[in-house]
Chains A and B, each alone.
Chain A
Amino acid sequence: MNRIVGIFSILILAASIAFAQGKGEVLIKNATVLTASKGTLTGTDILIRDGKIARIGKGLTAGSGAKVIDATGKFVSPGIIDAHSHSMLSAINEGSLAVTSMTRTRDMLDPNDITIYRALAGGVTSALLLHGSANPIGGQSTTVKFKWGHPVEDYPIADAPLGIKFALGENVKRSSFNPQPGQTFRYPRTRMGTMEVIRDAFRRARDYKQAWDDYRAKKTKVPPRVDEELQPLVEILEGKRLVHCHGYRSDEHLNILRIAEEFGFKVGTLQHGLEAYKIAPEIAKHGAGVSIFTDSWSYKLEAYDAIPYNAYILWKNGVTVSINSDSDERMRRLNLDAAKVMKYGGVPEEDALKMITLNPAKQLGIDKRTGSVEVGKDGDLVIWSEHPFSPYSHPEITMIEGEVYFDRAADIAKRSDLAKEREALEKLDVNRAPGAGGGPPQRPTERRAEERDEAEHGDGGNR
């Protein structure tokens, strides 16, 4: 008897290890599949093998060890990708300097940030984690999959292109808002100063690259320094690092496209771009993507000219549009923000869905592995209770590379255990409050305590 139990538990252990590594097979049966690239397939099965989508079709079978999910009456979409997020970052802005390209959001990842799990509960599987908007040239971004429960090194997508945050306009200007007596304002304080800072930085980067080229060609004897600030800018010039440029006004976004063309690179995305509809043909010609909110406006002066038809007009002009959250809370409802673009202008359903899946994947350069339900791509999928554009819909299962990271039924089942655990933990001496009469509760903060992003909070939100 003991031996049988022993063997059984070894089998369970082996199965769970295999599953945790994304090995083995997962078979989703009889779903309505919103592929985001090849239309909607009804009564369809999806087989995921070793983390990749192996087959899509009807009446598929899997091996005996496969995890089989009956999705009759349910909808399957690609995992949602948020192309503008500051989640799971312990610090967001290095606001002390105008150029902080030396900073890396990768250093600040916090894999215990509960917003990760909440994002998964909203069907989000990948995100672009950006530096804040306090500087013309901000820090290096990180493209992650939300592998909740895994160690931090599992989060970044290893083969995702490098990225960096740029910012224009109000936030940059105001980031030296209130100097103390005896202190000077941080340059730049105007929109034209912002452009000068960017241009100057790229000139310095060119000189830096030249110094290294000369050294490598043995024209000079002494090696130049390895410059953490200029190296990422060289990578932009070499087309190895994507620029994600925060901005609101169309004149400024035109300016950054012009600077990019002057220095011979292409802007990856224009972030926010609330006035992008005014310059849609110019953006299409440059080839930049645009990542927007659907219908947020007037929350600051720069946002007064926003219209909800922005996505539609950009789409009509052939621009790759994504809809982002820039918010730990709104990240959980991106499906509804995508649904709105069907209302405002009548973007077709699949193109609307693309704006939170395949299009952000293209903008982040990860569309070869994720963003649509296609054979060969990662098994990053969401199983919805209803069509994801219905306000009554919710994700029932969110998986990344075939591994389930959110399971609504399991979550509900686990809650009583967690309540019991909490009760037991609260009884421990170390967790007991020393007397009564404490101060009022801290107000809930959307961001981590370490983050004091004045430039963004001043806008009444983290836009």
Chain B
Amino acid sequence: MKSKLVLYAFAAIGLLFGVSVSAQSYAITNAKIVTVSGATIEKGTVVVRDGLIESVGPDARVPADAQVFDGTGLTVYPGFTDAFSNLGLAAPARPTTGGGPGGGGGGQAAAAAAAAQAPSSNSNYPAGLRPEYSTIDDVRAGESQFDANRNAGFTTALSVGRERIFNGQSALIDLAGDSVSEMTVKSPVAMHISFSTIPGQYPGSLLGTFSALRQMFNDARRLDELNKMYAANPKGMKRPEADKSLEALIPVLNRQMTVVFNANQENEIARALDLAKEYNLKAIIAGGQEADKFINRLKSQDVAVLLSLNFPKRTAAANPDADPESLETLRFRANVPKVAGKLAAAGVKFAFQSGGATSVNDFFTSINRSTENGLSKDAAVRAMTLAPAEIFGVSDRMGSVEAGKIANLTVVKGDLFANQRTITHVFVDGKLFEPKAPEPPAGRGPGGRGPQRTDGAASESNGGPANVGGTYSISIQTPDGGITGSLNIVQTGSTLTGTMTTDLGSVPLRDGRVTANGMSFAGTVSVGGQSIDFTVQAAVSGNQLSGSVTSAMGSMPMTGTKNP
């Protein structure tokens, strides 16, 4: 009897405690409410309680217990979604794939290193070809990692890595919460595929990548068939081999799981659409900066686009001796801001994503360039709210300001499309964040991690050296053709250390320092038993690196891209 009373007491305390935390409610009154799913309410109230939108409307009742904000001059939007990012994921120590040499033994050291670094698995497939890998397993808990993104109005992100051929199965996460369980909205969302290679082994070229994918699809389809035969009658039949990699593909082949292809340019998009058609896959294109060339196919195959807002711009410095850039390249850069408008006009489903841009500002700068080039502002808002929710199959619970939906809201003072946006309140799962100051000149990118400066100007304003640390995928033009590799830069103040890894092996860097526009360092490679000293001078702009490698053999151009 006594013990029962104690239990009741605990229960009552628990109830009280629960009420005081989870029933916290907020009301924003007199605000303009862009519901996205319905008409915009010029003056109304949104009530948030217990993680959900309790009510919304011109005359919505303000509960007595609510913390009230006067929303005069404010606009409430559904929380913004970055439809393709790696938020919450730890940076890979070094790239594990890349466009390696097609033939010969080159790149095998890199492959061996990649294999060594890959998580241990008893899969029958090499690390690049394991579709069972689930992104959510690698998401880190804790909401402070998302400060910059949330302050910019983002509440939700699709998260997945970009390494390997099968990048893994993505997760849709909310950018708040102390545990991964709380953050997770949906997992898995989709299977992600990049048209990359496994240097030094099969598939070592794009040719092999497609045939390797085909063989796995064939084998997964057969395994599905055999599993069904065996389930129906195991007697007299050898049991089908358990194969977790192939089993992970069965939902893809049965159209229960969508496939996101990383395909930014025309050839990649054509190849993705062809493969999707060949195996009757439910496909999404991520990148899609030439998707306007495939309007009819995207519609007939019912393929949505996660459009990258990391718009291309020239990063190579002018050189009077250089050949002019190709007309194709010049046209591509000029056309990218028009793509969103063309997709919208044609009725192709699309959502915006950061595309690995280093600055969160690029997201909105690119949206503004899209609205200047034929995209309506309403369609722009949709592409970062309800459209991604629809594409990821969660529009019944998020993506618009509707009663009953998850309370992900972004409140903006003034014009969202102005160059200086002021985000006053962000609600993630009903939890209030109030961004204090305007965004720093170069915050953490929507798809990036860690503080990253985009240019020298940012460093000057802060008085410290620019941050050029990180891992770069690099390409060096030698007289015998291009070689690719990676550059891992560790920055301490203005001093740089790290390694440069190419087909010639991995060499430590020395004399590394931050320069006015980038970095410089030296190293020694061994070629055929002979040591060759080299120095590197490189400019860093945004996530692009461009410079030269100089040795006794002459000077060779080097370009690179910082891995997101």
Contact = CB atoms under 8 A, between A and B. Distances in A.
Is the A/B pair a real complex? yes
B345 interface: no
B129 to A, nearest CB: 13
B207 A437 contact: no
B312 interface: yes
B318 A453 contact: no
Given A93-B103, A452-B101, A222 B237 contact: yes
Interface string B193-236: 00000001111111110111011001100100110010000001
Contacts, number: 233
Contacts of B202: 94, 96-97
A185 B105 CA distance: 8
B499 interface: no
Contacts of A104: 207, 210-211
B214 A102 contact: yes
Interface string B233-244: 000111000000
Nearest to A451: B102
B303 to A, nearest CB: 16
A431 B333 contact: yes
Contact of B548 (A96, A425, A439, A451): A439
A178 B316 CA distance: 33
Contact of B322 (A108, A180, A221, A441): A441
Nearest to A456: B103
A225 to B, nearest CB: 5
Interface stretch (B53-61, B65-73, B263-271, B407-415): B263-271
A96 B214 contact: no
A94 B219 CA distance: 21
B321 interface: yes
A223 B105 CA distance: 36
A16 to B, nearest CB: 18
A228 B218 contact: yes
A425 B112 contact: no
Contacts of B112: 180, 182-183
B315 interface: yes
Interface stretch (B11-19, B280-288, B476-484): B476-484
Contacts of B201: 96
A418 interface: yes
Contact of B215 (A134, A153, A228, A437): A228
Contacts of B479: 443
Contact of A450 (B99, B214, B316, B317): B99
A457 interface: yes
A425 B229 contact: no
A262 interface: no
Is chain B's binding surface mostly helix, strand, loop or mixed?
mixed
A455 B333 contact: no
Contact of B104 (A223, A430, A436, A454): A454
Contact of B214 (A139, A152, A228): A228
B4 interface: no
Interface in A221-242: 221-223, 225-229
Contacts of A159: none
A440 B218 CA distance: 48
Nearest to B538: A439
A179 B105 contact: yes
A59 interface: no
Interface in B301-320: 311-319
A438 B538 CA distance: 10
Interface residues of B, number: 75
Contacts of A153: 270
A107 interface: yes
B546 interface: yes
Nearest to A231: B218
Contacts of B270: 151-153
B491 interface: no
A97 to B, nearest CB: 5
A437 B222 contact: no
Nearest to B110: A180
Interface stretch (B137-145, B323-331, B418-426): B323-331
A171 B4 CA distance: 85
B316 A433 contact: yes
B200 to A, nearest CB: 7
A100 interface: yes
A132 interface: yes
B109 interface: yes
B222 A225 contact: yes
B519 to A, nearest CB: 15
Given A112-B266, A452-B481, A176 B104 contact: yes
A-B pairs with the 7 shortest C-beta distances? A95-B103, A438-B317, A433-B318, A438-B319, A102-B211, A441-B322, A439-B557
Interface of B: 99, 101-106, 108-109, 112, 200-208, 210-212, 214-215, 218-219, 222, 225-226, 229, 236-238, 266-267, 270-271, 274, 311-319, 321-328, 330-331, 333-334, 336, 477, 479-482, 517, 539, 541, 546-548, 555-558
Interface of A: 90-97, 100, 102-105, 107-112, 114, 131-132, 134, 139, 151-153, 174-183, 185-186, 221-223, 225-229, 418, 421-422, 425-426, 428-445, 449-455, 457
14 contacts: A92-B102, A96-B103, A96-B203, A102-B214, A178-B104, A180-B105, A223-B222, A229-B215, A426-B324, A434-B541, A437-B317, A438-B318, A442-B322, A451-B102
